[in-house]
Chains A and B, each alone.
Chain A
Amino acid sequence: MERFPSLHVFEEEGGIVVRGTFPLELDDGTIPERFHIRVTIPETYPKGVPIVCETAARIPRISDRHMGSDGSACLFVPEEYVLRNPGGQTIVEFLVGPVRDYFLAQLFFEKTGAWPFGQRPHGPEGRREFYKELLGLTDPSLARPYLAAIEAKQLKGHWPCPCGSSKRIRQCHRRELQELRNRVPRELAQEGLRLI
């Protein structure tokens, strides 16, 4: 790849894979480390999310380091990525964006013990946290009823408001829910309902 000469594109049995070493370049142009990665491009790309693995076991493969036991790098909650990049990204954008951020955070964590961009709790709790932020909620347990309201084919004013107020939607958060339905893709809400 012209931008990353040590990453190469291969056609493999499962699809397209980008393999090699990823140079973590800081803003001043220095490269403190190169990470061995494999990026699997899904069939649904560019809308589908590429999967990144760190292949040299450089980073301990534990969830506290946001690594799967198989070396998969847990860069973000996938729905967050999809929401920020509805049309997907080019591979270079993906590499200089989320991939670089991830390894930058890993290096910073090793030096300071702190995650510079924060971190999400593991598992469904982390997903709920994302939806809580997305939907502007104070209570993460309300994520499911809100997602259901977004996922519905039509929003009916007489339904109970998902905020739990016992009022009907038309008397409560109708405008906010309509705005959310405009902003959050229905497929994302479906995925969220499936996963949290």
Chain B
Amino acid sequence: MDADKYLNDVLDAQTLEDDSEELKALQKRRTEVEKLLREEFKKSNPRIRYAGSKGKGTMIKESYDLDMTCYFANDDTSAGDSLEDIYNNVKKALEKKYKVSPKNTSLRLLGLDQDVHGQDFHIDVVPGRFTDAEEKDVFLHQEGADKERLKTNLDVHLSHVRDSGYTDAIRLEKLWGVRNEVGIKTFVLELLVIDLLQEKSLTRISSQVKYVWEQFRDKADTLTVKDPANPEGNDLGKLLTADVRRELKQVATDTLETLERKGWEAVFGKVGESKAAASAEALIASVTSRQAAGAMKPWAP
């Protein structure tokens, strides 16, 4: 097997085209969220735009979250006086239509209605306030953190990743992280991948991906990461907790062993696996064989 060709095929299979059903559904919901926020904050004109992987070019089909900013002007207090007020008021507004799961700086939207209760909609809303009239840097509230706020810059983040030259490696590492439930924040993983690959001049995608795993396996305890938008001000090292380092090390070790024993397809699976690809006949046949074997009935206590 040509490893690079296989990995490029994996990347192609993970690409979400703009006219894909998944993105259309996401964009439809984004439109709903934007409409809700603009209605709730009529007096303001919050900056609502794509952040995250959509803006960085690192989206993967397997985990296609949409990050949306909701940034208020530096002199706008209609959404709240403090950053915490803004965070809570945006949360309250979203709760009119969604179940909201608060995260460190963002608000995750889940289904509220009975038939979709608790279902993840893959949208994070990031409330914030610009630091000044230039509207480049922004303050975000940190929920439950020692430091109440952090200062960052969306455009710096987007360009740091988008223009790194390593978006393919990042996408594969993201897929690996998602598939193996590695508990590392995506943007920290992105920064780590860029930092690690910038130390080496590896051109082949298979070499890049494998090198990153080797570093996770061998140097998990000493990895460091800086926020390119605020390297001295934002301590991202706190996000590389002992548990995260342990997981990176263990999962990378397991993956390298799998790669050694069974090859790339054992790590990333066959190209083109999807719900659509699986035939109704195959599903029925699988169910029939399990019916014959006496599969147990599910039950809710």
Residues on A facing B (Cβ under 8 Å): 2, 5-6, 8, 10, 19-21, 23, 26-28, 30-34, 36, 38, 55-64, 66-69, 74-77, 80-81, 84, 98, 100-102, 104-105, 107-108, 111, 115-123, 126-127, 130
Q: Which of B220-274 contact A (CB under 8 A)?
A: 246-247, 250-251, 254-255, 258, 261-262, 266-267, 269-270, 273-274
- Chain B residues positioned under 8 Å from A118 (CB to CB): 297
How far apart are the CA atoms of A119 and B298 in the complex, in Å? 5
Q: Which of A6, A60, A117 contacts B111 (CB 8 A)?
A: A60
Question: What are 30 A-B pairs with beta-carbon distances under 8 A?
Answer: A5-B254, A5-B266, A8-B180, A21-B181, A26-B282, A27-B286, A30-B273, A31-B270, A32-B278, A33-B275, A36-B181, A56-B120, A57-B120, A58-B120, A60-B115, A60-B119, A62-B114, A68-B300, A69-B118, A74-B298, A75-B298, A84-B296, A101-B295, A101-B296, A104-B283, A115-B298, A117-B291, A117-B298, A122-B301, A123-B300
How far apart are the CA atoms of A62 and B110 in the complex, in Å? 14
- Chain A residues positioned under 8 Å from B274 (CB to CB): 32
Residues on B facing A (Cβ under 8 Å): 62, 110-111, 114-120, 178-181, 246-247, 250-251, 254-255, 258, 261-262, 266-267, 269-270, 273-275, 277-280, 282-283, 285-287, 289-291, 295-301
Does the CB pair B298–A102 fall under 8 Å? yes
- The total of Cβ contacts below 8 Å across the A-B interface reads 156
Max chain B CB contacts within 10 Å: which of A8, A19, A38, A111? A8
Closest 8 A/B residue pairs (Cβ): A32-B278, A66-B298, A120-B299, A63-B300, A76-B296, A61-B118, A101-B295, A57-B120
How far apart are the CA atoms of A23 and B278 in the complex, in Å? 13
How far apart are the CA atoms of A68 and B118 in the complex, in Å? 11
- Chain B residues positioned under 8 Å from A27 (CB to CB): 282, 285-286, 289
Q: Which of A20, A57, A105, A119 contacts B119 (CB 8 A)?
A: A57
How far apart are the CA atoms of A186 and B297 in the complex, in Å? 23
Q: Which of B111, B261, B262, B280 contacts A111 (CB 8 A)?
A: B280
Does the CB pair A60–B296 fall under 8 Å? no
- Chain B residues positioned under 8 Å from A59 (CB to CB): 119
How far apart are the CA atoms of A119 and B100 in the complex, in Å? 31
- Chain B residues positioned under 8 Å from A5 (CB to CB): 254-255, 258, 262, 266-267
Does the CB pair A122–B250 fall under 8 Å? no
Residue of B nearest to A25 (CB): B286
**Nearest chain B CB to A154 CB, angstrom units:** 32
How far apart are the CA atoms of A21 and B180 in the complex, in Å? 6
Does the CB pair A115–B297 fall under 8 Å? yes
Residue of B nearest to A117 (CB): B295
- Chain A residues positioned under 8 Å from B287 (CB to CB): 104-105, 108, 116-117
